[in-house]
Amino acid sequence: MSEQRYDAVIIGAGPAGIFAAIELIRSKPDMRILVLERGKPIDRRSCPARQTSCVGCPTCAIMTGWGGAGAFSDGKLTLSTEVGGWLGDYIGTDGLERLIEDSDQLWLEFGATTSVHAPEPEVAERLMREATLAEMRLVPMRIRHIGSDRSPAVLQAMYDYLVSVGVEVRTGTMATRIVAEEDRVTAVELGDGSTVRTDLVIAAPGRDGADWLAEQARALGIGLVSNAVDIGVRVEVPAPVMEPLTEHLYEAKLIQMSHRFGDQVRTFCMNPYGAVTTESYGDIVTVNGHSYAEQRTANTNFAVLVSQRFTEPFHEPITYGTSIARLANLLGEGILVQRLGDLRAGRRSTAKRIAESVVTPTMPSATPGDLSFVLPYRHLVDILGFLDAMDTLAPGVAADGTLLYGIEVKFYSSRLELDPTLQTHIRGLYAVGDGAGVTRGLVQSGASGLVAARAALGTERVSPE
């Protein structure tokens, strides 16, 4: 079994891992840094579902590869401390604001658009008041939209830079085990049987590597805390319906505590003039949405998600969400679509009814069906109540012809027990990004990589408020 030595090993090449590598090499240009990524390079990542439907690739190109899951996302950089994860729990709100600025500057440096969507103060105040009257909370945000079509070029520029300054990147390479001795990280074992020696590991395996990271944590005696799981549908309406909000906000982040059950219900990933798409988690297919910088459809789509956090004795939120998504796949041979009017009437949608809708689906491969056979009653009640409230802000959202696609599930990885620098109790082992349960968006993910790198270098100390 061969061995090599590096000053730092970064596991995962999503924004968290990439930004950690940039910070390390710029602070210490002579560092020997290895970035491991089990997926493909960005220019070799392709998804059959973009042309047909999900075929269940062994390694999903949407979820893994250079750039992580964010490479084919909508490319929205949300410049707000209230959106994108829980990094503020570790470094405090003031620290998070500074890190968001630093993260944003790196995105800009490598090609992100300079334009920012932000409402005028008086418009934001008016919309927040209207949301309050609808018993919802509106979170106005500054958003930098890269676009699904431009994101790969930005991430490729980051790759080219790191390679040019001497960082070694190995794609198609699986890390199998993190090794520690006497509470100090010492090595990483790879899938080819080799071992890489190092005193610094930054684990950033992304959402698709969350289960693997949790296994490593258990083996190393690192505590885990389950995060919530978000389950819901993707809503598609004619773009003019959402213009009262999207014209000013681009993405309207609305939150409601449901009347019946007190659950948190929220919008997620709003895509003006966008398209409904799929993504794969292992053997299940879930629904998602994108919008592009250079292309437009006639529709706007967004998710409505219900958050559930389980307590003892049940502690498998990912298994719960996976089971619901798998049931939808069973009934629809992939993604189900239903007219809102049909759902309320207690009948399944048919191809004929879909064709008669004012909304032309941007995912024609979705199977007309009945989401009430899939979603738990609690989720259905929460979602219908949310859409009714939202209809007062954007009339037409709750129309009979509105399309609902299911199931959309957002899995938030179990949080590892970390200190304010995102280091575990194993010295030299840091855990960052979505896979560590710290973040759930591009900006905070990149920022978490900066936190770990700076802490490892001793160039910045962060502490909670």
Q: What is the pLDDT of residues 192-227, one digit of tens each?
A: 999 999 999 999 999 888 889 999 999 999 999 877
Closest CA to 306 of 380, 415, 401: 380
- Give the least confident one: 82-96, 141-155, 337-351, 356-370: 141-155
Q: Is residue 464 part of a domain?
A: no
> Is 145 domain-assigned?
no
The pLDDT of 90-103, averaged and rounded, is 96
Domain co-membership, 180 together with 327: no
In a domain, 54, yes or no: yes
- The pair phi, psi for residue 252, each rounded to 5°, is -95, 110
Domain count, the chain: 2
User: Cis link prior to 146 (omega < 30° from 0)?
Assistant: no
Residue in this structure with the two tokens 């041979």, named with its chain if needed: 333
- Asked if pLDDT for residue 229 goes beyond 80, the answer is yes
Same structural domain, 299 and 216: no
Compute and round to an integer the Cα radius of gyration of the chain: 22
**pTM score of the predicted model:** 0.82
Nearest CA to 357 out of 396, 304, 389 is that of 396
Domain boundary, last residue among 380, 396, 411: 411
pLDDT, tens only, 147-198: 778 889 999 999 999 999 999 999 999 999 999 999 999 999 999 999 999 9
C-alpha–C-alpha distance, residues 200 and 202, integer Å: 7
- Please, are residues 255 and 82 in contact by the beta-carbon 8 Å criterion? no
Residues 6+ apart with CB under 8 A from 134: 389, 390, 392, 393
Please tell me the number of Cα atoms within 13 Å of 196 on its side-chain side: 28
Cα gap 17→431, rounded to integer Å: 10
200: exposed, middle or buried (Cβ count in 10 Å: 0-12, 13-18, 19+):
buried
**Contact indicator for 168, 33 with CB cutoff of 8 Å:** yes
63: left (phi over 0), alpha (psi -120 to 50) or beta: alpha
Same domain, 377 and 453: no
**Domain shared by 197 and 301, yes or no:** no
Q: Are residues 273 and 211 in the same domain?
A: no
Task: Count the Cβ atoms, other than its own, within 10 Å of residue 283.
Answer: 10
Q: Using 50, 70 and 90 to split pLDDT, how confident is the model at 462?
A: very low
pLDDT for 320 equals 87
Domain that holds residue 294: 121-140+228-411
Residue 463 lies in a domain: no
CATH code for position 95: 3.50.50.60
Express each pLDDT in 32-68 by its tens digit.
999 999 999 988 877 655 545 555 666 666 678 898 8
Residues 356, 431 within the same domain: no
Please check whether residues 158 and 66 belong to one and the same domain: yes
In angstroms, what CA-CA distances link 185 with 201, 223, 393, 448? 7, 16, 53, 20
User: Counting Cβ atoms within 10 Å, is residue 279 exposed (0-12), middle (13-18) or buried (19+)?
Assistant: buried
Same domain, 160 and 213: yes
- Whether residue 37 contacts residue 14, with contact meaning beta carbons closer than 8 Å, is answered with no
Specify whether 64 is located in the same domain as 186. yes
Residues with Cβ < 8 Å from 3, sequence gap 6 or more?
Answer: 187, 194, 195, 196, 197
**pLDDT band at residue 263 using 50, 70 and 90 as cut-offs:** very high
β-pairing, 284-290 vs 275-281, is: antiparallel
pLDDT band at 461 (very low <50, low <70, confident <90, very high): very low
CB-based contact 185:8 (threshold 8 Å): no
Residues in the chain: 465
